[in-house]
Structures are given as structure tokens and as C-alpha cells.
Amino acid sequence: MSTLVSHIRLAATATAVSCSRLFAAHTLRQWNAPHLVDNAELVVSELVTNAVKATGVASPAPAWAQLEDVQLLHITLYGRAHSVTIQVWDSSEEPPVQAKTGVEEWAEGGRGLFIVEALALHVGHFFPKSGGKVVWAELALDAQLPSLPQREAKKPLNVLLPEADPELLIKLLKALEKL
């Protein structure tokens, strides 16, 4: 079987994450591998998030001045007989931050490569001669990897919800009717 290749270049901004997810999902559906979409979307979004943090503008609403010298990211998917490899190139020559296992349970960050390692057969990085770095992850094409463990949602303690105020609701309804 020949190797299938699909790639996209995106500005290293916060929107690159969602665009890369769409790209991966579309590509895998075109390659008749829809069962890989969920894991591939998660992997590519983690790799692209790290690349944006390393070289781009992470702000969701950047100022025009921040975008003047924005870097590019190169996302490439390689489809082979038994696997799909996702590669993300960025212009940084710093090695990727290794996965953290002792991250606080409710922390918002620090698990990216740990999640990628849990989903992928192999994960790595290299520094091409042209500069920058490539971080990659290989997903099994025919094997279903186990899902990540689910945490139980913690219930907040002593939460008091306000009671409905019928008079306020009637006033609100009347105001909406006037619109």
C-alpha cells in the first residue's frame, strides 16, 4: 500500500487548534478511517496547542500588532497500511515539554503530551535540517486503543440556588414582548 499524505499550513494562532482538528477529521474521513477521528482530533489539537504556545500568538483575540510577524505551523498526516502519523512542525528549536504525570487533578494545562502518549502507539520529535522541530504521534489504524479514564465530576459543596422570583420573571417577559 502506498503512503497517503495530506498537509496544511496554518498561522500559529489560537484558531490553528480548531482548524487542525477539522483538517484531521476531514482527512481521515476521506481516507475511510472515521474510527480514528476522535483520537486524531485530540492528538492534533494537543500538538498544535503546544506549537502555538512555543512560537505563536496564544491569545484568542490578538491585536493586529501581534500578528505582524506570526509564524506558520505545518501539519502533515501520513496514512500507511497499519497506522496514521500526525506531524506538527513549528519554528522553535526547543524540545517539546515532556509529559507531566503529577499534574494537579483540576489543573487546566500540563497534560498535553501525556494525553498524546496515552493515545498513540509512538510519540517523538526531531529537528529537521531546515530548522524548527517536528513533534509527531503515530496512531494504530486497525487497533482500537482504550479510551482515557473518565473522572467523576465533583459536586460543589453548599451551593444554594436562588429561588425563582415570579414578579421579576413577569417583568422580564413583558420587556421581551415589547421587543
**Rounded to an integer, what distance in angstroms lies between the CA atom of residue 102 and that of residue 86?**
26
Higher pLDDT, 28 or 113: 28
Return the CATH superfamily for domain 4-149. Answer: Histidine kinase-like ATPase, C-terminal domain (3.30.565.10)
Domain boundaries, the chain: 4-149
Burial label for 129, CB within 10 Å (0-12, 13-18, 19+), is exposed
Q: What percent of the chain has pLDDT over 90?
A: 51
pLDDT at 60: 78
**Rounded to an integer, what distance in angstroms lies between the CA atom of residue 55 and that of residue 70?**
8
pLDDT at 85: 96
Which long-range contacts link 92-95 to residues 24+ away (Cβ below 8 Å)? Answer: 92/51, 92/54, 92/55, 92/132, 92/133, 93/127, 93/131, 93/132, 93/133, 94/54, 94/133, 95/125, 95/133
The verdict on pTM exceeding 0.75 is: no
* 158 C-beta neighbours (distance < 10 Å), count: 4
Express each pLDDT in 143-173 by its tens digit.
554 555 666 776 666 666 677 788 888 888 8
pLDDT at 149: 61
**Rounded to an integer, what distance in angstroms lies between the CA atom of residue 28 and that of residue 36?**
7
pLDDT at 74: 97
Express each pLDDT in 108-130 by its tens digit.
555 677 888 888 999 999 999 99
**Low-confidence winner among 18-22, 73-77, 121-125, 153-157 (lowest mean pLDDT):** 153-157
**Alpha carbon of 163 to those of 109, 148, 167, 173: distances in Å?**
36, 39, 12, 17
Q: Cell 505582524 appears where?
A: 68
Which pLDDT band holds residue 69 (cuts at 50, 70, 90)?
confident
Q: Which of 8-22, 65-79, 85-99, 154-168 has the highest mean pLDDT?
A: 8-22
Residue 178 pairs in a beta bridge with none
